[in-house]
Amino acid sequence: MSNQTNSSSNPLNDEIVQTIDNLNLPVVQKHHIRLLAHCLEIFKEIAKDKKPLFEEEEKLREWCERQSKRFNDKKFNELFYEQMSSAAKKLNVFSMRTGKKFKELKLEDLISLVTQDSEDK
């Protein structure tokens, strides 16, 4: 089995995954960063040029429906959309707080977001 990243199922390249794996953070935080990074790349693909991510909600719903069709499970589709929408909202709030557009967010920003969240708890 190949160890190469399949770009159609995983928008994160091996370098990003390795960078996250090498962080001196708890496994849960690394996983959270990987999830946010994955979602961010998907949102960048879905979103139009200048619109904020929350204005792309219908496109996100359509994308989730296309991805979940292979399971033919309406409950999964709704849960999937809710989780992706939650990640979109979190990234939007963070991008507004930092003064960046969500498309400008980088891995370092996601690391900062996750580590700040854990310090706030």
46, burial (CB in 10 Å: exposed 0-12, middle 13-18, buried 19+)? middle
Q: What share of the chain is helix, strand, coil (3-state, %, to 5)?
A: 75, 0, 25
pLDDT at 13: 85
Mean pLDDT value across the chain: 82
5: pLDDT strictly greater than 60: no
95-105 pLDDT, tens digit each: 888 899 888 89
Contacts of 61 (CB under 8 A, 6+ apart): 81
User: With 70 as the cut, is the pLDDT of residue 7 above it?
Assistant: no
